[in-house]
Every structure is written in structure tokens, then in C-alpha cells.
Amino acid sequence: MSVLDRAELLYDHHQIDRSLTQMANQIAHDLPGPLTVIGVMTGALVTMGHLLVKMPQEVTVDYLHISRYKNNLEGSEQLDWLAYPATNLKNKTVLIVDDIFDEGVTLAAAKQYCLDRGASLVKSCVLINKERPRGNVEPDYFAMRVPDRYVFGFGMDYQQLYRNQAGIYSLHLDDQP
């Protein structure tokens, strides 16, 4: 039996699409542009692609690749910077897009990087905001919430697989990594 067979579907593609449309509308209202959108790879790839086509404002697109997981599903405080944005961020309004907000370590580092490079304003958005206790760091925008469980699909992986699933799935509590 595969992991997908044992998983629970939390959100289907239509629910995700509606939530991303609502988030894009709020971002367009708050940040009319021009806007530099930076995706946190690899997880944000799917979310960013779907979000960008819903944004009416003028945008430039870039990415950064930062990870705290490597081969560890639990994550660590150690950040691996694999790629930096190529765009000059001085005096730009930046929107950082990520797949999931778990503890906020990666998003906080990405935001600080942009501010250190002279961005005038840095906001963040995530597809998923995980319901869990954490410090005072929060994303500025999020499309959906999930319980504090391991989730995958729609850009998020399980052991480097299942990023291509159109829905968001969770492992049952007895299957959690």
C-alpha cells in the first residue's frame, strides 16, 4: 500500500484554487504593484505558479533556494542557502511565497535577507499555515490552515515524492514520520 493510499485528503484542487484566488485578491488590494515575487524553492513552485496567474498587478519573478530539511523530515535550525535571488531588491516591494508555514525559520531568514538587500517592504504568503504553537512570527497572508500533522501534495513532498498531487494530503497519526 502506497503512502497516498494511506493518506487523508485535506483539500482538493478546487478548494485550493478558491483559496489562492482569495489570497491573490487580498494581496492585489494591499500591494497593488509593482511587486517582486520571490518563491522559496522547491516547495513554493506549484503555489507560486498558480498564484501568479491570479495577480493583476505588475510583477517580476525570482526565486531563492533555502532549506532546513536536507534528508531530515523533522527539520533543523541549520539553514542551507542553495540559491539567492538575482534581482536587485533595493527599494522594491517584495512578496515571498512559500508552500507551508511550520515554525517560521525559513521564512524569517528569507525576509531578513531581502531587507538586508534594501527592500523597502517585505511581505510573505504561504499556501498552508500549520496550526501549532510558535513564536511571534506569522506569514502576512495564507490560503489555508492544516492541523499540526505532516502534509504533502501541491508542491510539498513526502520523501521527495508526491509534489505533483493536485490535492493536499495528510498522513494519519500512526503513519506520521
Across residues 71-98, what is the average pLDDT?
84
E strands along the chain, which residues?
A: 7-11, 35-41, 59-67, 80-83, 93-101, 121-130, 141-146, 151-152, 168-171
pLDDT of residue 104: 86
pLDDT > 80? residue 76: no
**Sequence-ordered list of residues with C-beta below 8 angstroms from that of 32, at least 6 positions apart, any chain:** 57
C-alpha distances out from residue 46 to 30, 74, 121, 157, Å: 23, 22, 24, 11
pLDDT for residue 69 is more than 70: no
Q: What confidence category does residue 72 fall into, taking pLDDT thresholds of 50, 70 and 90?
A: very low
Residue percentage of the chain with pLDDT more than 90: 73
pTM score, whole prediction: 0.90
